[in-house]
Amino acid sequence: MSKNTFMMIKPDAVERGLVGDILKDITNAGFKIKALKLTQLSLSEAKTFYAIHSERPFFNDLTSYMSRSPVVAAVLEKDNAVSEFRNLIGDTDPSKASEGTIRAKYAISKGENSVHGSDSDENAKIEAEFHFSGREILF
């Protein structure tokens, strides 16, 4: 199990000024921030990042949403980082997310669910390398 995971605070949360609240929830849960940046994905970059979903009916809506305004990308560290972060953010559908999870607290809808968290150690590495150069991540 890797000690690192990748996460993004999505456009809906950045637009509503929730970056500080979400980062506080993350650090309060014991995660260390190893890399952090405010950035904006072009539509092409969003399509590349979410290519795994390219055949899904929601792909165009997802990539338009993810490229509409800035995101905050981060690499986080904690034992069992991927599963611990997935537990912290909660279900993709905020109406099904457990009380106290980030999505239960901040998400607008299943489509605008405020945060992305890697679903595997392999994807965490791929996604972190998509957003950060090696010199930007503190190990």
The whole-number average pLDDT for the span 64-81 is 97
**Short-list 73, 94, 70, CA closest to 137:** 73
What pLDDT is attached to residue 137? 81
What pLDDT score was predicted for residue 138? Answer: 73
Task: Of 15-24, 75-84, 129-138, give the lowest mean pLDDT range.
Answer: 129-138
Burial 9-29 (b: 16+ CB within 10 A, else e): bbbbbbeeebbeebbebbeee
The catalytic residue positions are: 116
User: What's the whole-number mean pLDDT along residues 10-17?
Assistant: 98
Strands (E) in 4-139, as ranges, are 4-9, 32-39, 71-77, 115-117
Whether the per-residue pLDDT at 1 is higher than 80: the answer is no
Are the C-beta atoms of 89 and 105 separated by less than 8 Å?
Answer: no
Size (the chain), residues: 139
Question: What pLDDT is recorded for position 139?
Answer: 64
Q: Assess whether pLDDT exceeds 90 at residue 130.
A: yes
pLDDT tens digits for 82-114?
999 999 999 999 999 999 999 999 999 999 999
| Tens-place pLDDT, residues 16-70 | 999 999 999 999 999 999 999 999 999 999 999 999 999 999 999 999 999 999 9
